Chain A
Amino acid sequence: MEQVRLNIDGVDVVTTPDRTILEAAREAGIRIPSLCYDRRMEPYGACRICIVEVEGARGLLPACATRVTDGMVVRTDTEELRRIRRTIIELLLSDHPRDCMTCESAGNCELQDLAYEYGVKETRFPGEEHHYEVLADNPLIERDYDKCVLCGRCIRICREVQGVGVYDFVNRGFEAVPGTPYNRPLTETPCEFCGQCVSTCPTGAIISIPSKGKGRPWQVEKVRTTCPYCGCGCQIDLHVRDGEIIEVSSPVMVGPGEGNLCVKGRYGYSFVHHPDRLTTPLIRKDGELVPATWEEALGMVADRISKALDDKGPDAVAFLSSARCTNEENYLLQKLARAVVGTNNVDHCARL
């Protein structure tokens, strides 16, 4: 692809013409603040936080929605821009609960980050605030539109990425707010509960119910792993606090899912900590499975395999390996069958 040269804040940047100013700047290590931007979706240009000055352009331009052109000279951090961004942040805060103390998204909130960066403690423009009912009409996704900044990310990710379109804005002006058709509960819409809207919401307006109150971003360790469900192989981050998985997210643009997950991938983790988990070997005694030590259990397994080998030969033993276990474990099990027991009686549920 042809190359485009532009100058951003005095830095010469070379990129391709399919890039927006925001993308080109981020690639060059220049951070332009944003709120309605999510790289998974088409540019939207609604929050106006990312506005920049482009020499020769009529008015200020949203960096997220403006493609670079050759010779462009861009300024991202002038006094005027900072002033306007501050006004925008103050306007947003003028209709936003100041409950960061208990908000689920504190520490993971782009509005909070902006207020922090621009030092906005209070708004010069207090006025009417919305008080919507919190919508928890399903077991997974809670919506509190008092915290909505109308960035449209939930609407767009549902429509553009998920291809479903459960949400759109309803009403106009100050009364505009995202909603479902006829404000029906999510369970009565085509919602797939993928939680993509949760993943993109920049504030605490849409949150995951199972993670509520379980931990702050700085209290968790994120462990990158592969989703244990279908064969897509999405990359997921397990959020772990004090030995418990409290949330799952997916790194944007990484792996087959590119940061998108389905309902199982995002919400199907708590089985790991289910009280039904087996915590000790069991041995059948008098018809009942009773707890045993590893020594007893393993000894018994080895004994019975040896006995079958002695009585009937290796093909009297059969192994079912697992499409849910790792490559290494499958390898070891077939090695156990072939090298140790001496049988090719090893299969798994590939066909099922």
Chain B
Amino acid sequence: MTNSIDDLEKAGCILVIGSNTTEGHPIVGLRIKRAVMKNDCKLIVAEPRHIRLCYYADQWIRHRPGTDVALLNGMMNVILAEGLADEEFIRERTEGFEEFRKVVEQYTPERAAEICGVEAEEIRRAARTFAGAPSAAIVYAMGITQHTTGVDNVLSLANLAMLTGNLGKEGAGVNPLRGQNNVQGACDMGALPNVLTGYQPVSDPQAREKFEKAWRVDYLPGNPGLTIMEMVDAALRGEVRVLYIMGENPLLSDPDIRHLREALEKVDFLVVQDIFLTETARYADVVLPAASFAEKEGTFTNTDRRVQRVRKAVEPPGEAREDSWIIAQVASRLGYDMGDVSAPAVMEEIASLTPSYAGISYRRLEELGELRWPCPSPDHPGTPILHVDKFTRGKGKFSPVEYKTPAEEPDSEYPLVLTTGRLLTHYHTGSMTRRVKPLDELVPENRAWINPADAERLGVAADQEVAVESRRGAIKVKARITEKVPPGVVFIPFHFGESPANALTNPALDPVAKIPEYKVAAVRIVTGKAMEGLEYVTA
């Protein structure tokens, strides 16, 4: 997030797009609701599903899944046409405006409305509300990023924020909500194939040299490694022989389960280090029992870049050990001594190698409770708002973005759009929440959400078991008939191994970010006798 969670309450307008905030990020959702209830913030929700925030919204735009760029370009077209842009901000702080303008001018509200399946007036109204607010914040989540056009979507949001001068100030910003407790931290720590800690590129010789020195190694590779989806393909090609998975359950979380399972079977050696024998761990050659969050010391970095402490409350069960111990043991058996891997010592090492974490230490965290990066020195208070005076790259760059259709669109064979997501009660692959009895009692099984019009056409009744099938597989799931999904769209949460939504999803990737298109896949619903012939995927 460029701004902080607290800062959202200062916004005059919030655009929530591609985020079911009250379920995916309940506490951020709570802050948005409070901004509306207490501070008269105008809330615009752009979302195909009727989510709870719609009840608080000034305006709900129900655009078709995968048409975000068209919608945003349409809004920006109105802002330009009606002279609502922040000229000064554009002049002083940005570049590339003219090329951008040329593209946006093509997206009249009428044309955008046509693509999005909404009224042109809705786009105009949203544009005026957003641009007219003294400060306007954008909040988004995986509904924006999990598309083959994920990067385009994000660039469009950045365009909108720059166009209206809503960066680098209070109550504004472009605010992605990270889906898991420490996605932000894992990225910050260089658990990415192309960067070291603090986003120092592996391709940068100077950065490598610094790390080589600190890590006492002669050589660090400078070519970017494989992303998760590329690893799967490389494994199938026999290029990746050993796969070491720590605390992940890709078999349930990754698109196209069947494809992934083949890869897991194909690798020579699979190590899974986890707290449960997850769906993925069942394929492992070695399973290493790890400590849970409550059994170790450490830090998480949350979605607004807040580094906070994790503290040990109980002992790990049996012989389960902290991940840090396990990693150090593996390293030592490979001839490398990691030295003191206690959490404070590791943080000290991180701080010494990572400019944005340089001022973070356990001593300070004990004292302050939290520190927000960039925190470049031990006396720095942390940074609640990014890009206040200038962007990381100097000037903010407008990107001309054209609308592109999703990789797989509904057709006569697979006429419905599948979109996936989360429920409030469950978390990710359910390995934790589905083992919490009261939570599992509240929501014990999966449902495919189907619009009443589709249900009637298909002859599907509430709670009837149906098959949902895509080009990649089929699952059995009960139907929930609800207006919350628009006609033509089926929503299935991905928490449930017995009816895994990701058996159906499309592994098509965004060309830049390599993020799969979870939010749009073509499916069909099969009922009755026809269900018998299908082969069902479970995780």
Residues on A close to B: CB < 8 A? 138-140, 160-163, 187, 192-194, 209-210, 221, 223-235, 238, 240, 243-245, 254-257, 260-265, 267-274, 276-284, 289, 292, 294, 297-302, 304-306, 308, 311-312, 314-352
Closest to A160 in B: B37
- Complex contacts, B326 vs chain A, CB 8 Å: 298
Complex Cα distance, B196 from A330, in Å, reads: 11
Contact of B239 among A194, A282, A302, A315 (CB under 8 A): A315
| Residues of chain B lying within 8 A (CB to CB) of residue A162 | 30, 33
A228 to B291: give the CA distance in the assembly, Å. 13
| Interchain CB contact under 8 A, A194 and B26 | yes
> Does the CB pair A225–B311 fall under 8 Å?
yes
Assuming the contacts A228-B181, A280-B319, A328-B324, asked whether A306 and B334 have C-beta atoms less than 8 A apart, the reply is yes
Task: For A351, give its contact among B34, B234, B295, B513 (CB under 8 Å).
Answer: B513
CA of A342 to CA of B292 in the docked complex: distance in angstroms?
28
Instruction: List, sorted by A's number, 13 A–B pairs whose CB atoms are closer than 8 Å.
Output: A228-B293, A232-B27, A256-B5, A301-B271, A320-B250, A323-B179, A324-B181, A326-B324, A330-B182, A330-B189, A332-B324, A346-B191, A351-B516
> Are A308 and B242 CB-contacts (below 8 A) given A263-B439, A268-B427, A325-B182?
yes
Whether B303 contacts A232 by the Cβ 8 Å rule is yes
Q: Which partner residue on chain A sits nearest B194 by CB separation?
A: A344
Interface contacts beyond A321-B247, A331-B349: sample of 10 additional A-B pairs, CB < 8 Å, sorted by A: A138-B442, A226-B302, A229-B427, A256-B6, A264-B425, A272-B295, A278-B275, A305-B244, A327-B347, A348-B183
Query: Is the CB–CB distance between A320 and B22 below 8 Å?
Result: no
B288 CB within 8 Å of chain A: yes
Q: Are B347 and A328 in contact (CB under 8 A)?
A: yes
Q: Is B253 an interface residue (CB 8 A)?
A: yes
Q: Which of B195-236 contact A (CB under 8 A)?
A: 196-197, 202, 211, 215, 217, 219-221, 223-229, 231, 234-235
User: In the assembled complex, which residues on chain B have CB atoms less than 8 Å from the CB atom of A347?
Assistant: 191-193, 225-228, 231
- Beta-carbon nearest neighbor of B298 in chain A: A326
Q: In the assembly, what is the distance between CA of A264 and CA of B293, in Å?
A: 14
- CB-contact partner of B436 in A223, A231, A271, A282, under 8 A: A271
CA distance A335 to B196 in the complex (A): 9
In whole angstroms, what is the CA distance A335 to B37 when docked?
47
User: Given contacts A263-B424, A345-B231, is CB(A244)–CB(B293) below 8 Å?
Assistant: no
Give Cα A336 to B301, complex, Å: 21
User: Could you say which of B82-90, B335-343, B391-399 contacts chain A?
Assistant: B335-343
Q: Is B284 a contact of A289 with CB atoms below 8 Å? A: yes
Does residue B187 face the partner (Cβ distance < 8 Å to A)?
yes
Q: How far is the CA of A330 from the CA of B284 in the complex (A)?
A: 21
Decide yes or no whether B433 CB sits under 8 A from chain A: yes
Closest Cβ–Cβ distance, residue B500 to chain A (whole Å): 13
Query: How far is it, in angstroms, between the C-alpha of A240 and the C-alpha of B314 when the chains are bound?
Result: 7
Is B441's CB within 8 Å of the partner chain A?
yes
The answer, among B292, B311, B338, for a CB contact under 8 Å with A223, is: B311
Q: Are B246 and A314 in contact (CB under 8 A)?
A: no
Q: Which listed residue, A139, A261, A298, A331, touches B329 by the CB 8 Å rule? A: A298
In the complex with contacts A140-B438, A282-B287, A244-B250 CB distance below 8 A: no
Asked whether A318 and B234 contact (CB < 8 A) given A334-B189, A338-B221, the answer is yes
B330 lies within 8 A of chain A by Cβ: yes
Does B515 interact with chain A (Cβ within 8 Å)?
A: yes
Closest to A305 in B: B242
Q: Is B118 an interface residue (CB 8 A)?
A: no
The distance from the CB of B283 to the nearest CB of chain A, in whole angstroms, is 9
B50 within 8 A of partner (CB): no
Contact A226–B435 (Cβ < 8 Å): no
A316 pairs with B240, CB closer than 8 A: yes
Question: Inside 8 A of A304's CB, which chain B residues have their CB?
Answer: 242, 268-269, 271, 285
Nearest-Cβ distance from residue A339 to partner chain B, whole angstroms: 4
Residue in A260, A328, A349 whose beta carbon sits within 8 Å of that of B298 in the complex = A328
Contacts A209-B438, A263-B425, A334-B189 given; does A278 touch B225 at CB 8 Å: no
- B511 interface residue, CB < 8 Å from A? no
Q: Measured between C-beta atoms, what is the minimum distance from B511 to chain A in Å?
A: 13
Nearest first, the 5 closest Cβ-Cβ pairs linking A and B are A233-B302, A279-B318, A326-B298, A322-B247, A344-B225
A220–B441 Cα distance when bound, in Å, is: 27
A258 to B22, CA, bound (A): 16
Residues on B with beta carbons closer than 8 Å to the beta carbon of A318: 225-226, 231, 234-235, 240, 242-244
Among B25, B307, B426, B438, chain A packs the most CB atoms within 10 A around the CB of B438
Indicate whether B453 reaches chain A with its CB closer than 8 angstroms.
no
- CA separation between A244 and B241, bound complex, in Å? 40
List the B side residues contacting A265 at CB < 8 Å: 26-27
- Is there a chain A Cβ closer than 8 Å to B296's Cβ? yes
| Interface status of B245 (Cβ within 8 A of chain A) | yes
CB distance from A346 to the nearest CB of B (A): 6
